[in-house]
């Protein structure tokens, strides 16, 4: 990776510079709204409503707002429409272009690049490298989603499989790197990756203003998923000089909420062993990203959600917004719908008007098989369940 000492500082202007460098290679993904989901999120207990609606689809929805209940205008940044189906394309393209700047394209083509990833960064790096005719090697867990494996194989010179923990992936990568001499492009823990991912926040700001008549309106908050932390750190960097409050969202299953726990303990948690359905969020926060994520001036709070809450959110987005999103992407909206601490904060802070909240859908790389498996019990009749 490019020497950190040569990287631009982690400030909003650097995010703008990164966007200028990569915008011809990425999609400007849409910022969508949904009145139905606004109403559900602004109801007294979305969990009860959504549970009832699955069991009794004909039950009417009461959208009348109640005092003391948070009210939302939600704006969904749809990175599931990004190239390779996830935000990771942004960081990968910026990382490759920076390497070209620092070591020249012929040298980079001779050496190649390498990474380890549960899937989205693997696809993104292989695509970015292929764009510049640079060979790439990617190490992926054996349990990676099949669509992510196929996406990586489409462009990578070689795909190598490993165990699912970060230590197992890094060990497998070291063997390949020793054999090939390829340059490591980390999936999240580097300033260039942070700045590339921060372009999600920059675009969101622009698109929010384009949607509104009132030029004085602003995003009150933005929620981003957090696994390794590159996306949240980048978004927090972009909004660090603005009035928008940034929050993180992560799964709680089997200790995957390491960012939240680390902030409470006052130190970064270095190992995560979780098989949460949010497979893109199974790794600990990186060192570079931790310095941003732990800073309450940049990231107000990290909230966690359960597997059932992620599933319920995924179903809502699929059926109401007609969007294919992966479980990791659903943690943000799940916080809005179900996390009592976040909902209480909004209710106490909105001063008589709805909060304008940006919700990042980080990716859509799932499969029909995974979706059908996740929701098999929900759709089964009582006889089939027994």
What does the alpha-carbon distance between residue 79 and residue 197 come to, in Å, rounded to a whole number?
Answer: 11
| Pairing relationship of beta strands 31-32 and 72-78 according to DSSP bridges | antiparallel
| Separation between Cα atoms, residue 285 and residue 271, nearest integer Å | 9
Residues with catalytic annotation?
88, 118
Which residue in the block uniquely carries the two structure tokens 């995560």? Answer: 272
Q: In this structure, are residues 127 and 156 in contact, taking their beta carbons and an 8 Å threshold?
A: no
> Which one-letter DSSP state was computed for residue 298?
T
Q: What are phi and psi of 251, to 5 degrees?
A: -75, 150
308 to each of 109, 278, 343, how far by Cα in Å? 45, 11, 18
Closest of 86, 44, 89 to residue 62, by C-alpha: 44
Q: What are phi and psi of 258, to 5 degrees?
A: -65, -30
| Residues 117/187, Cβ–Cβ less than 8 Å | yes
Residues 294 and 38: their CA atoms lie apart, in Å, by: 30
Q: Give 315's Cβ-side CA count (13 Å radius).
A: 19
Residue pair 291/263 in contact (Cβ under 8 Å)? The answer is no
Which residue intervals of 220-284 are DSSP H helices?
230-238, 258-265
Nearest to 89 by CA among 209, 200, 13, 173: 200
Strands 245-251, 221-225: pairing kind = parallel
Instruction: Using alpha carbons, select from 110, 259, 113, 247 the residue that is nearest to residue 187.
Output: 113
How far, in Å, CA of 158 to CA of 176, rounded? 10
């Amino acid at each position: 990776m490019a020497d950190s000492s040569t990287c631009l500082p982690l400030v909003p202007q650097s995010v703008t510079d990164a966007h200028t460098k990569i915008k011809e290679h990425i999609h400007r993904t849409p910022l969508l709204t949904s009145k139905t989901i606004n109403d559900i999120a602004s109801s007294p207990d979305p969990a009860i409503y959504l549970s009832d609606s699955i069991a009794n689809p004909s039950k009417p929805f009461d959208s009348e707002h109640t005092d003391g209940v948070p009210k939302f205008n939600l704006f969904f940044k749809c990175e599931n429409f990004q190239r390779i189906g996830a935000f990771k394309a942004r960081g990968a393209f910026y990382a490759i272009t920076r390497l070209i700047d620092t070591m020249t394209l012929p040298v980079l083509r001779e050496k190649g690049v390498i990474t380890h990833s549960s899937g989205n960064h693997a696809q993104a790096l292989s695509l970015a490298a292929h764009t510049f005719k640079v060979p790439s090697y990617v190490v992926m867990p054996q349990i990676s989603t099949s669509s992510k494996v196929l996406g990586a194989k489409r462009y990578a010179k070689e795909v190598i499989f490993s165990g699912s923990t970060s230590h197992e992936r890094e060990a497998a990568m070291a063997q390949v790197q020793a054999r090939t001499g390829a340059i490591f492009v980390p999936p999240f823990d580097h300033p260039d990756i942070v700045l590339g991912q921060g372009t999600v926040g920059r675009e969101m700001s622009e698109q929010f203003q384009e949607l509104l008549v009132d030029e004085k309106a602003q995003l009150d908050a933005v929620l981003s998923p957090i696994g390794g932390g590159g996306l949240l750190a980048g978004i927090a960097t972009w909004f660090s000089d603005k009035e928008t409050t940034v929050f993180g969202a992560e799964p709680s299953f089997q200790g995957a909420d390491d960012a939240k726990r680390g902030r409470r303990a006052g130190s970064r948690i270095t190992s995560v062993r979780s098989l949460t359905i949010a497979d893109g969020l199974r790794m600990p926060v990186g060192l570079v990203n931790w310095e941003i994520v732990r800073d309450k001036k940049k990231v107000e709070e990290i909230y966690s959600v359960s597997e059932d809450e992620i599933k319920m959110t995924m179903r809502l987005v699929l059926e109401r917004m007609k969007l294919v999103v992966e479980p990791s992407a659903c943690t943000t909206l799940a916080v809005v719908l179900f996390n009592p601490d976040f909902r209480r904060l909004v209710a106490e802070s909105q001063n008589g008007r709805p909060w304008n909240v940006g919700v990042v859908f980080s990716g859509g790389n799932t499969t029909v098989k995974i979706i059908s498996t996740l929701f098999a019990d929900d759709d089964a009749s009582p006889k089939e369940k027994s």
